Structure 1
């Protein structure tokens, strides 16, 4: 029979894992059934539970201290999931910049995976990121980092500090920078196309440059994107290798 303290610890472990799966990459997609998420969270909690010390919780499950402990675990799990998802947010942001400069932004459609409006290139980069993550077993690395969090930050010991808050802001700013860097080559090509069309409009005013610019931008944009994709796969893979390090840095800042 399980003791009350062990049951209390199990639900704390489950709270952190469930919150991470609710905010983390891949597992938080709306098209994944809720029963699958619950089952995966419960299974992982059962696996992790034996390695968690039973002396970390010494109060009753019906006390306010236990409620605050659950809330702390949920917030910590959401923070870990937020950090792990920022790479995908960078890809979506880069795709939105590319859509804006190519001319696909006006054809934005509702993306059921992100639950928001997304352009064609933005959705393509999101799917490319998912393919790279699953292809190189990145989801295993993320789950391993989540399991390791119970060693770095034991149950009911996470603390919000100035260092952790500053790190979250830094990671968010880095996500914006990465998105701009990914889209920079295509933006440069679009700038050259715009300058060329401007010179053409000055030398041949009878040509409707405005209508001519739409197909030209799309053609050069897709050609540039086709050249960028092989290199982009390597860039995305290198970005995913930093997820585990970012999660570990956040854990150390909240100890």
Structure 2
């Protein structure tokens, strides 16, 4: 069984002449353990796709199954990191990271070691009692990442989580997410509009535009991937290909 099997996915907002159809008949498979980046221009359906995968939005037509079970609503098996800060401001850092397992009534003896481990892994040791308002944007993203991993979902869905951050902060969080992905073996579906971010992170890049999949490209460069990829001819060729599909989404395949 795969992490996701998506068949004929169509989403329509509104009716008649005023309707908007960001996704139309989209098909996609996501293998277990893959780091998939969904790349696309703004307003072309990539975040809509992610919300459908999370069970936050019901499609107009088509089906989504996850590990053989129909996605019909949110599930603890699928964790989400949003573009905007979504950590409760009334909880300190440690309580934010522990919120998921505590809400699921996981015994403290089971969740506490995991919570402390991920606090360490994302670089929050020493800030456990800080309030979110006392943290930078990058540190709040670290809290969100620690929280979603501590809740131990099978699949992580990330909706442009680092788009508002500066280059150095974003690069540090890329390293953190990749380290945790290798450690846990989870499936990650990561939405971005940034070609370089996709090449840095992904096993595979899917371009979503014009309602469907316009390109589906493996990324085989060895990790870790750093600034040296900007000087690599093969990486530049891949970058040019992806940029072409972003600039002209109809020049692809569905």
Q: Structure 1-normalised TM-score?
A: 0.21
- Which structure has greater strand proportion? 2
Bigger radius of gyration among the two = 1
